[in-house]
């Protein structure tokens, strides 16, 4: 277990001109699947898992259900999304479950804008702590860099968790003192 120390400060969203982050809508369902299937790292089973979560959110609304944010450019087209929510059996710990940005929209602050709004909303609901589970593989290096840039620290590694050579890395950030 390593603790690199989490910063309490997120990067400013100054690079995010022209981006709008709001609650996702039911009509975003297909676009969210498309974002995953064209991501270069997620496949059909991942997209189906996310779709099940998305459908459950609308069909069985619950106060502790999944939350979804969409980030769009000036034409309202979906550039990326995030799914987050509370972590059961914890006191005010939140979990960022999924984040994905269209390949052609990467490097323009979409991911940062989504994560900052996720943190802001969790804080507004008295969130105390946020965790993100991710992979150690090269394909997830941009995600790990994003989490660090957003003030998350890598706290723990479980070797070979996903498969041999693919470890689980847990990032965390305290949302309030
Ligand atoms: C990870 C991902 C969401 C980042 O989205 P993005 O919109 O490209 O990220 P941003 O432009 O907001 O980047 C914000 C910061 O993250 C870091 N970062 C993002 N991509 C990076 C990359 N390829 N290399 C290094 N740092 C990177 C940088 O610190 C960046 O700040 P900077 O632009 O000031 O240098 C995107 O690459 C993606 O969708 N990847 C595939 C899906 C995925 O891995 N999801 C996470 C699964 S756990």
Low-confidence stretches of the chain (pLDDT < 50) are 1-15
- pLDDT for 1-32, tens place per residue? 333 334 434 443 434 579 999 999 999 999 99
Closest ligand 1 atom, residue 35 Cα: 39
Which residues does ligand 1 sit against, CB inside 6 Å?
39, 41, 99-101, 106-112, 134, 140, 142-143, 145-146, 149
Q: Where are the alpha helices (DSSP H) in the chain?
A: 29-37, 44-59, 110-124, 141-149
What are residue 129's DSSP bridge partners? 93, 174
In eight-state DSSP terms, residue 103 is G
pTM of this prediction?
A: 0.92
Q: Using N-to-C axis directions, what is the helix angle for 44-59 and 29-37, rounded to 10°?
A: 160
DSSP 147: H
Tallying the residues shown for the chain, one arrives at 177
User: From the alpha carbon of 135, which atom of ligand 1 is closest?
Assistant: 48
């Amino acid at each position: 277990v390593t603790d690199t120390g989490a910063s309490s400060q997120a990067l400013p969203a100054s690079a995010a001109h022209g981006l709008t982050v709001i609650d996702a809508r039911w009509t975003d369902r297909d676009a969210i699947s498309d974002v995953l299937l064209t991501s270069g790292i997620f496949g059909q089973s991942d997209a189906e898992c996310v779709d099940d979560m998305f459908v459950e959110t609308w069909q069985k609304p619950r106060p502790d259900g999944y939350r979804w944010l969409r980030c769009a450019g000036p034409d309202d087209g979906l550039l990326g999304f995030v799914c987050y929510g509370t972590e059961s059996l914890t006191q005010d710990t939140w979990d960022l479950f999924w984040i994905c940005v269209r390949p052609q929209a990467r490097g323009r602050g979409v991911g940062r804008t989504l994560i900052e709004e996720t943190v802001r909303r969790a804080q507004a609901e008295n969130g105390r702590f946020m965790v993100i589970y991710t992979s150690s593989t090269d394909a997830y290096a941009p995600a790990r860099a994003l989490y660090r840039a957003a003030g998350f620290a890598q706290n723990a590694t479980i070797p070979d968790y996903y498969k041999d050579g693919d470890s689980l890395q847990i990032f965390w950030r305290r949302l309030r003192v």
